[in-house]
Every structure is written in structure tokens, then in C-alpha cells.
């Protein structure tokens, strides 16, 4: 994994994404992984905007939060990404999936993506043994727990505070099993913004 400062990382990934498109890669796959509160969504949005500003079609972002099946669903979400979204895209088919509705505790709203633009998948579990082999660019964001917990509280208030430790335990299990950080092309040399 090559460690870069935040702005250099963003610049490198934008440049590499544009090169992939120029070389004819129809749907470059960019994975952004890390633990809760590490800045994945922020980096994904910045990457999407920067690629679009360079004249490319707006990249599609898929948030793992929309794929997890509740607070115990990290591994199921990763498997859902692989089976329902990435495998069809690799076969040059449309990917159709249902987002998970956290309030109703079930899948409901249908989404579709036919490829043709860069795909950014962000969330814990997006980078694993399977996805690392098929992605074009992969990023691991590592941030101290104190910062991550503060971001969690800032983003969600105390609404989901009771779930932080439950989720953290799943993250640790998944990371230990999949060795996600070691699969990444890039990481941050300083804390994420």
C-alpha cells in the first residue's frame, strides 16, 4: 500500500481513474474502505466531483450502508455487493439491487446501474479478497478510534451510540478475516479530513 497525504491521494486516484477511462475501461471500479468514521463517504464525494469536473460522466457511488442488513449485517452486505452488483457488472449486465431500509429492517427500494461510468463503492467491507481482485483502484483509510468515534457522534448524534461497539466488533472480525488493509493500493499518510 502506498501512503499519501490526503490531497495527493485524491489527485492520484482522479488521475488514475481518468487514465483508465482513456484506455477504454468502461466501468473502472474504485473501492474506499476503512472503519466507521474514517472519512470514506467524504473521500468518495470529493473523488466523484473531481472526476466529473475533469469532463467525465458523473461516477456512480454505492454506499455500503445501503447494502448492510442491519447492525449485524457487515459480512452479508459485502457478499451482497459481490453477488448482486459486481458479478453482473463484470458479466457486462445491468446490476439491480434493493437498498436496505434501516427503519423497516428489510430491503425495499430498487436501484440499477448498467456501468459505463466509474463506480465508487465506499464502506467497510467493500475491500475484501474477492473485490480486490476485480477492482481497478482500492483505498484503505485508517484513523484513530477517538477521531472515528467523534465523527460518528457528530454525524449521527447519540441516536446510534449503542451500536458503535457492536459495529466495531464486526469490523475487526471482517478485517482480520479478509486482511483488507493489506489489499489496498493506497492509504493515507495522515488522518483523513
Q: What pLDDT does 160 receive?
A: 66
**Sequence-separated (6 or more) residues with CB below 8 Å from residue 131:** 29, 31, 78, 81, 82, 86, 121, 138
Place of cell 448492510: 68
Q: What is the dihedral of CA 40, 41, 42, 46, to 10 degrees?
A: 100
Q: Is the pLDDT of residue 192 over 60?
A: no
Each residue's pLDDT tens digit, 26-51: 999 999 999 988 999 999 999 999 99
Cell numbers standing for residue 137:
483502484
CATH code given to domain 2-188: 3.40.50.300
Confidence (pLDDT) at 9: 97
DSSP string of 12-44? HHHHHHHHHHHTT-SS-EEEEEESTTSSHHHHH
Which residue in this structure is represented by grid cell 460522466? 57
**Could you tell me if 143 and 191 are in contact, meaning their C-beta atoms sit under 8 angstroms apart?**
yes
pLDDT over 70 for what percent of the chain?
95
pLDDT, tens digit, 9 for 90 and up, residues 120-171: 999 999 999 999 999 999 999 998 888 888 887 787 666 666 788 899 999 9
Using an 8 Å Cβ cutoff, are 44 and 122 in contact?
Answer: yes
Cβ-contact 138, 47 below 8 angstroms: no
Contact 64, 81 (CB under 8 A): yes
Question: Considering the chain, what is the average pLDDT of its residues?
Answer: 93
Residue 67 — pLDDT band, cuts 50, 70, 90?
very high
Domain spans of the chain, in order of start: 2-188
Band of pLDDT at residue 182, cut at 50, 70 and 90:
very high
The model scores a pTM over 0.75: yes
Q: Note the pLDDT of residue 157.
A: 66
Amino acid at each position: 500500500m502506498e501512503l499519501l497525504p490526503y490531497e495527493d491521494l485524491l489527485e492520484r486516484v482522479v488521475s488514475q481513474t481518468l487514465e483508465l477511462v482513456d484506455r477504454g475501461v468502461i466501468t473502472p471500479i474504485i473501492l474506499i474502505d476503512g472503519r466507521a468514521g474514517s472519512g470514506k463517504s467524504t473521500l468518495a464525494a470529493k473523488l466523484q466531483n473531481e472526476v466529473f469536473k475533469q469532463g467525465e460522466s458523473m461516477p456512480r457511488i454505492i454506499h455500503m450502508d445501503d447494502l448492510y442488513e442491519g447492525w449485524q449485517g457487515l459480512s452479508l452486505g459485502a457478499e451482497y455487493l459481490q453477488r448482486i452488483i459486481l458479478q453482473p457488472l463484470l458479466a457486462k449486465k445491468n446490476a439491480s439491487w434493493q437498498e436496505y431500509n434501516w427503519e423497516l429492517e428489510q430491503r425495499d427500494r430498487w436501484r440499477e446501474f448498467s456501468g459505463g461510468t466509474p463506480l465508487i463503492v465506499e464502506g467497510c467491507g467493500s475491500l475484501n479478497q474477492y473485490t480486490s481482485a476485480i477492482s481497478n483502484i482500492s483505498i484503505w483509510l485508517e484513523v484513530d478510534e477517538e477521531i472515528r468515534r467523534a465523527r460518528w457522534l457528530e454525524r449521527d448524534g447519540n441516536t446510534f451510540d449503542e451500536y458503535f461497539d457492536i459495529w466495531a466488533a464486526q469490523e475487526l472480525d471482517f478485517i482480520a478475516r479478509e486482511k483488507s488493509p493489506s489489499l489496498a493500493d493506497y492509504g493515507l499518510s495522515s488522518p483523513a479530513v
